[in-house]
Amino acid sequence: MNKLEPMKVKKITCIGAGYVGGPTMAVIADNCPEIIVTIVDIDENRINAWKYNPINELPIYEPKLGEIIERVRNKNLFFSTDISESIANADMVFLAVNTPTKTKGIGSGQASDLSMLESCSREVAKCSRGHTIVVEKSTVPVRTAEVIKKILDANLKKEDSSNPQQTFSVISNPEFLAEGTAISDLNNPDRVLIGGDNELAIESLADIYSHWVDRSKIIKTNLWSSELSKLTSNAFLAQRISSINSVAEICEVTGANIKEVSKAIGLDNRIGKKFLNSGPGFGGSCFQKDILNLVYLCEYFGLTRVARYWQSVIELNDWQQERISKLITENLLGNISSKFILILGFAFKANTNDTRESSAIQISLNLLEEGANLLIHDPQVNSKQISLDLRIEETTSLSPDTNYNNKDKGKWKYVNNLSNSFSQVDAVVILTEWEEYKLIDWKKVTKKMRKPAWVFDTRLLLEEKNITDAGLNYWSVGNGR
Ligand SMILES: NC(=O)c1ccc[n+]([C@@H]2O[C@H](COP(=O)([O-])OP(=O)(O)OC[C@H]3O[C@@H](n4cnc5c(N)ncnc54)[C@H](O)[C@@H]3O)[C@@H](O)[C@H]2O)c1
């Protein structure tokens, strides 16, 4: 390689075959047919599913992802568990492993657990050959690239006849995709951010993106700005959701209507209309984790007031889930023990099968705690995932025709067939905004439900008139009367 020219990348390896690694690499492979892309992971089941499953059963559900995988799988996109060989062959290695909130030790409950990132950095140090550009794709606390650099530099191997001298450039390229719209976000990003101090490494990555992204949208910054921009942009988005949810509660007691209020606010183009939909609170693997991380960072630097400010965004989110659970109980005559509630939607939002931090988890747990029996439906989430999230096994049979006397917690059962699941239920709770729930024929299902019956619409998905005309009681978030 000419030292003054950016490297022409021919082979990319991405460590982490998850919600970021999978779609991001699929889009790179699709737009850069001359580059061989390999995604590696320690999770053999996940890799096998990417490798062999039909395109409608990929490990990650994301609209339009299947079409791309069909085009590029085994052409220039490969999946493997042979991590060391894939690293050895690559010019550029993306680190897209998970960075969840720490559950023990220093910073427990706030700081990110960087052990996965550290272990794959060590793997890169061990296996890479010649010059390797290491791209930090995971969302990380500020100055994490320094940790990666330290690991790489401390393990540099000497050149010998079979191994060219190892060198590394570490750059940051945070991912801004949102689950559910990942493919369009990746194909048409608002911006691509690349942070680093090595111009040539930055240019090499910019050259890849420029296959399909206009150069004016490729922003170059220093490493720390790039890392902090990702954390804080998630914090800003989450803050808008907590803000609008706080306004929803004010609407409910004052007689205002959140749809009208958020439309009025959003038409101000200084504010804009996105992320002003009130709902059951934000979920997903990123918002809570990244804000907690920001809070930890602020506390570390002694910025107590700033830490408190961001912490309150999370507290309001928890409150939204708690108050929704409470008002369901209150409306069902103050008691839900042994009653049947149909939960519609378990994913943290529509068009994804991701349930991490989904509001449905806490709301379901609250209702089970009060003794309710839950029938849970989601078009993309399976029963195994729901048991893992609730940490309660699915019950083998749960029939509204049986009389239950739940002295303790309630039970839950997965619903395969939505149309058969309304029989004798006291309430339906919409927790994810799947399009198919808009098609429910309320005049038909009302006949099966036990009266007085309720529909709780936490996503403002339904038309109130369709529900009330069917003789059902209707509550929706932010709708004051
Ligand atoms: N999910 C999102 O919407 C999103 C968006 C932007 C950024 N991010 C960030 O991207 C990162 C990845 O998120 P995700 O949602 O794709 O996570 P994920 O849990 O879906 O995937 C991570 C994968 O990394 C694998 N892994 C962990 N340690 C490994 C190791 N040492 N070697 C090989 N594989 C290993 C895991 O088995 C897993 O399959 C996180 O830092 C996240 O904050 C996520």
Same domain membership, residue 397 and residue 302: yes
Q: Which of 114, 112, 476 has the alpha carbon at shortest distance from 294?
A: 112
Query: Residue 382 Cα, ligand 1 centroid: separation in angstroms?
Result: 20
Q: Is the Cβ atom of 144 under 6 angstroms away from ligand 1? A: no
Number of domains present in the structure of the chain: 2
Q: Which of 338, 242, 230 has the alpha carbon at shortest distance from 294?
A: 230
> In this predicted structure, what is the pLDDT of residue 80?
98
Same domain membership, residue 163 and residue 36: yes
4 within domain boundaries: no
Q: For residue 33, is the peptide bond before it cis, meaning its omega torsion is within 30 degrees of 0?
A: no
Report which residue type is found at 390. L
6 within domain boundaries: no
Annotated catalytic residues are: 175, 230, 286
Last residue of a domain, which of 221, 242, 264? Answer: 221
Same domain membership, residue 415 and residue 308: yes
> In this predicted structure, what is the pLDDT of residue 3?
59
Give the closest residue (by CA) to ligand 1 atom 41.
138
Query: Residue 37 Cα, ligand 1 centroid: separation in angstroms?
Result: 17
Same domain membership, residue 235 and residue 206: no
Mutate to test the pocket of ligand 1, among 19, 232, 385 (most ligand atoms within 8 A of CB): 19
Closest ligand 1 atom to residue 119 Cα is: 31
Q: 406: how many CB neighbours lie within 10 A of its CB?
A: 16
Q: Which pTM was predicted?
A: 0.94
Same domain membership, residue 374 and residue 257: yes
Cβ pair 11, 38 in contact under 8 A? yes
User: For the segment 174-228, what is each residue's pLDDT rounded down to a tens digit?
Assistant: 999 999 999 999 999 999 999 999 999 999 999 999 999 999 999 999 999 999 9
- Label residue 393 exposed, middle or buried (CB < 10 Å: 0-12, 13-18, 19+): exposed
The residue ranges of DSSP E strands in 111-166, in sequence order, are 131-136
Cβ pair 144, 136 in contact under 8 A? yes
Query: Residue 285 Cα, ligand 1 centroid: separation in angstroms?
Result: 10
1 within domain boundaries: no
Q: Is the Cβ atom of 478 under 6 angstroms away from ligand 1? A: no
Query: pLDDT 10s digit of each residue in the chain, 481 long?
Result: 455 789 999 999 999 999 999 999 999 999 999 999 999 999 999 999 999 999 999 999 999 999 999 999 999 999 999 999 999 999 999 999 999 999 999 999 999 999 999 999 999 999 999 999 999 999 998 889 999 999 999 988 877 777 788 999 999 999 999 999 999 999 999 999 999 999 999 999 999 999 999 999 999 999 999 999 999 999 999 999 999 999 999 999 999 999 999 999 999 999 999 999 999 999 999 999 999 999 999 999 999 999 999 999 999 999 999 999 999 999 999 999 999 999 999 999 999 999 999 999 999 999 999 999 999 999 999 999 999 999 999 999 888 777 777 778 999 999 999 999 999 999 999 999 999 999 999 999 999 999 999 999 999 999 999 999 999 999 999 999 8
Beta bridge partners of 38: 13, 78
Same domain membership, residue 105 and residue 23: yes
DSSP classification of residue 479:
B
The residue segments making up the domain with residue 375 are 222-481
Query: Residue 98 Cα, ligand 1 centroid: separation in angstroms?
Result: 3
Cβ pair 35, 72 in contact under 8 A? no
Cα–Cα distance measured from residue 58 to residue 480, given in angstroms and rounded to the nearest whole number: 42
CA angle 272, 274, 277 (to 5 degrees): 120
Cβ pair 304, 414 in contact under 8 A? no
Q: Is the Cβ atom of 283 under 6 angstroms away from ligand 1? A: no
Last residue of a domain, which of 171, 200, 221? Answer: 221
100 within domain boundaries: yes
> What CATH number has the domain bearing residue 90?
3.40.50.720
Same domain membership, residue 159 and residue 304: no
Same domain membership, residue 421 and residue 377: yes
Cβ pair 195, 221 in contact under 8 A? yes
Q: Is the Cβ atom of 20 under 6 angstroms away from ligand 1? A: yes
3 within domain boundaries: no
Same domain membership, residue 188 and residue 268: no
Taking the CA atoms of 447, 416, 397 and 427 in sequence, report the sign of the dihedral they define: negative
User: For the segment 108-164, what is each residue's pLDDT rounded down to a tens digit?
Assistant: 999 999 999 999 999 999 999 999 999 999 999 888 999 999 999 998 887 777 778
Same domain membership, residue 237 and residue 187: no
Instruction: State residue 129 phi and psi, 5-degree precision.
Output: -130, 140
Closest ligand 1 atom to residue 290 Cα is: 43
Same domain membership, residue 260 and residue 214: no
447 within domain boundaries: yes
Last residue of a domain, which of 206, 221, 236? Answer: 221
User: For the segment 40-66, what is each residue's pLDDT rounded down to a tens digit?
Assistant: 999 999 999 999 999 999 999 999 999
Same domain membership, residue 250 and residue 210: no
